[in-house]
Chain A
Amino acid sequence: MIIHSYRDCANILPRGVPGYSSDRFFCTNLRESDVMAGSTMERLSECVRLVAELENPAAIYVFGSCLSELIGDDIENGLAEAAEEISMPVIAVTSSGLDDISPKKVVDRHADLMYRAASAKAEPIPFSVNLIGFPPDGGEIAGILAAAGIEVNAGLSEKSPMPEWLKLPRGSLNAVLDKSLFSIIIEKMKNEHGIPTLEVPLPIGVSGTDDFFMGIAAHFKKNREMKEAIRDKRKAAAAAVSSRAEEWNGMKIAYNIGTEREYNHHITAKSGLCEVGFFRELNFDVTLLIQGSPEPRRRFLVSRQLREMGIDAGFDIFVDNVSMASALRKAKFNLVYCVEAMAEIVRPTKVPLIGLGSMRTGYGGCLFNLELIAKTLSGRRE
């Protein structure tokens, strides 16, 4: 990966963390003199050629920046010659940091970049599904689908490595949480390989998990097999949920969205509201705490969106991180579901916090989630 900018731009990369290897990242490290001399594209071409020659990667991604955009470097066309010369895919991306882009669009573009390396012709596998945008679950989903005669061809989350993306063209169905989150690849896969796409809910809680499995089964006309496949696991989860729903009936939960940009697919999908249904299933009284501009127009838009999504929940809007504490104090919440980074701000309110994204999927995940909520409510877990 090459970042075409001055040195500081490479600091958008989180460094020293597992999975990051600085050997794979380069920066054209543009200097003021390069900009003044108009030699920035020459520097980029040299970097591309050297990376190709010495590192010999499968593909080279080149990312533009505010600077390259400001000075008018056309990296998408300007690298065509270098790409031809080195006989290697060079995928250039206009990616200025000056244009605000929603996390949803980031996810969409990321999926497209990964898919671009996978668009070769492939024979589809019958009764196979690409699960796009679902968090890894330790194998329960694949196991149940297999028991119903459906194979998981590719299971893709934001953390999936390239080989998993390369499998995409062999699936006979794409199952996604939110079509708008993967609009580019859905369109491409339909046009290039004739793969249809089905939107299914996040398999969280009993009814969410039921709808997820039965939705996929219906596409393959395997409803009977699926009912059989989910029976045992479902039974234990349904009993536990039913018992807790009685216990927690009417408890108030603040469900926070918009505080941090999230790129986890299942948290970004459906405006971050995929898990509301699970708390409703547990009879929690859900209030959405939305960070953003509290102006009337925004309230109107939020109301409309919730109506369109069929979500019946009250909401409050707070303006910035530090205002979240007062928003929490307005109602006597029993629980808040928000990003862990807000722990310091939430702590003085004494409302127990569960970190956004800590819920697990599937029937097995249901039991984990109930335990987590119970522990948090009883103060056994911060």
Chain B
Amino acid sequence: MTDEEHSKVKPEDRLKEFRIPLMNHTRYFGVFMASHSIPDSILVLHKGTGCKMKGSTHIADKFHESFSQVCWTEVTGVDILTDSHSMIEDTALTNQQRRKPGVIAVTTSSVIEMTGFDMREAIEAIQPKAGCPLVYVPTPGYEGDAYDGLADFTMAMAGFVDWSMAPEPGVINIFGYPFERYEMDHGANIRELKRIIEAVGLRPGSWFFSGQKAAQLLAAHTGSVNVVLPYFKKYAAELEKLSGRPSLVQDLPMGLNGTTRWLENVSRAAGADEQITARFIRAEKEKTELLLDIAKRCIGVKKICVIQATPLAAGCSALALELGLELESVILLDFSLGGGDEFLSALARITGRDIPDNINIYENPSWSEISGLPELSGGPAIIISPAIDMEKSQSSLLNIIELGSPSSNMHMIYPMPYLGYGGAIALAQRIMDASASRY
């Protein structure tokens, strides 16, 4: 944009550039989240002291404290000017000896990389002494988002799997599940997917990420098919090439139709028995449909607003449409997962139907840009959203179902999935509850 063009932009629009979007995380948080999801990992930060809290501050996990898995070099301005290679080696190796991790994630800040410090070279030099994979992911702080970091880390870790070993028929790996916390929303999602996979005669292999330890993840060679969820889609082709196994790109298994479609595709790709699959799906659909029909009749509030990262937004919206709700506004909380176009495509795929053309879609706005929406100003609506920067006084007037990352106020001690058939029922229950609490 030229100076002249720039001066013609309205001040309100120019200020938008400096506001903080609802989802502001960059790659670093994705790496932090991935490392947190591997219980025997440690994360080495070659960063200044100011960066230490940027991960743990945003993890809303009541069951698994995250800070203890992090160690840092606390590099200073003077260190940068001299040589900070040895700081990484000292920190990584000391913690390796003390904690015996299954994997060590390593990252640094843009400032250090801008000095010309060759982090990759430093890591390669340490790797032979490390005793476990050192997974290095660059995390520039000026581009990308947390889902980029999660995907980058996953791909880097896949590089440590010995894919030359033979796969086991019927075993499927999952790539690209953002396991943010060890609570019973994620726990129940994983359990539900295992249930439906096992019901059709398949076996779960390595799931990136699911709370599995590093050794289980590094045994991904046993999988014969890599199911790729949207958060890892950008690496699907690269993974296929690296692993020599097919990458099956799938939307999130959400809602009745979305789960059915997901399971049919996975079963087909992994060679499951067609009749067993069809029988199981028929029984599950029957049971789920019956319950969703009851939910439809009970939900008094008909408008819904979904605030989520694109794949989860599409999944939640799909269920909302199946429940006969009116989807007016969707706010997407990511920079990297395809935006409005991808949302609409995914929604059409998951529901298998035409999508209303009057949905307002906002791509990762700041709170001030959307705070005036009727759904967010007390108008009757169900809102499915993670904890965002909503004024407390305003949020107390709304019917919010807290779901997604981060869920700072909603913590789960009882299985409450949102994926799979069980997830469709559980989420419908939460929508019913939110509706009932107000009316």
Contact = CB atoms under 8 A, between A and B. Distances in A.
B276 interface: no
Nearest to B29: A11
Contact of B26 (A7, A322, A342, A345): A7
B279 to A, nearest CB: 44
B345 interface: no
Contacts of A239: none
B48 A96 contact: yes
Contacts of B51: 12, 97
Given A8-B54, A54-B11, A100 B76 contact: yes
B111 A66 contact: yes
B191 to A, nearest CB: 23
A23 interface: yes
Given A96-B48, A322-B99, A70 B18 contact: no
B65 A100 contact: no
Interface stretch (B320-328, B336-344, B386-394): B386-394
Contacts, number: 155
A328 to B, nearest CB: 15
Contact of B142 (A7, A46, A69, A345): A7
B68 A345 contact: yes
Given A22-B366, A54-B11, A344-B64, A66 B18 contact: no
A148 to B, nearest CB: 38
A345 B75 CA distance: 27
A77 interface: no
26 contacts: A6-B110, A6-B141, A7-B26, A8-B26, A8-B110, A8-B142, A10-B20, A12-B54, A15-B24, A15-B58, A15-B389, A16-B386, A22-B20, A23-B366, A29-B142, A35-B114, A46-B14, A50-B11, A65-B50, A70-B77, A97-B48, A98-B50, A98-B111, A100-B49, A320-B71, A322-B68
Contact of A23 (B26, B47, B111, B368): B368
Given A322-B99, A345-B68, A8 B18 contact: no
Interface string B336-366: 0000000000000000000000000000001
A118 interface: no
B283 interface: no
B429 interface: no
A150 B109 CA distance: 52
A54 B50 contact: no
Contact of A99 (B18, B54, B77, B142): B77
Given A22-B367, A321-B68, A342-B65, 16 more contacts: A6-B141, A8-B141, A9-B141, A11-B58, A12-B57, A16-B389, A23-B366, A29-B142, A32-B142, A35-B114, A50-B11, A54-B12, A98-B76, A99-B76, A100-B49, A322-B98
- Please tell me the size bucket of the interface on A: 35 or more
In this complex, the member of B22, B388, B389, B390 whose beta carbon has the largest number of chain A beta carbons within 10 angstroms is B389
A97 B50 contact: yes
Interface string B128-141: 00000000000111
A98 B49 contact: yes
A221 B387 CA distance: 53
A47 interface: yes
A125 B22 CA distance: 45
Interface string B213-254: 000000000000000000000000000000000000000000
B1 interface: no
A7 B24 CA distance: 7
Contacts of A114: none
Contacts of A32: 140, 142-143
A315 interface: no
Interface in A1-44: 2, 5-18, 20-23, 25-32, 35
Contacts of B161: none
Interface string B106-127: 0001110011000000000000
Contact of B114 (A70, A98, A345): A70
Contacts of B53: 12
Contacts of B115: 70
Interface string B1-43: 0000000000110110111101011101100000000000000
Contacts of B80: 70, 98
Interface of A: 2, 5-18, 20-23, 25-32, 35, 46-47, 50-51, 53-54, 65-67, 69-70, 96-101, 320-322, 341-345
Contacts of A16: 386-390, 406, 408
Interface string B360-388: 00000011100000000000000000111
Contact of B15 (A25, A54, A321): A54
A224 B77 CA distance: 56
B261 to A, nearest CB: 33
Nearest to B68: A321
In this complex, the member of A2, A46, A51 whose beta carbon has the largest number of chain B beta carbons within 10 angstroms is A46
Nearest to A50: B15
A195 to B, nearest CB: 33
Contact of B109 (A53, A66, A341): A66
Contacts of B48: 66, 96-99
B54 A25 contact: no
A22 B22 CA distance: 9
Contacts of B65: 341-345
Given A16-B406, A28-B18, A54-B11, A341 B67 contact: yes
Given A8-B141, A12-B57, A345-B65, A96 B388 contact: no
B142 A21 contact: no
Contacts of A12: 50-51, 53-54, 57
Instruction: Please give me the 10 A-B residue pairs with the lowest Cβ-Cβ distance, nearest first.
Output: A97-B50, A8-B141, A16-B387, A22-B389, A6-B142, A98-B48, A8-B26, A97-B48, A6-B141, A66-B111
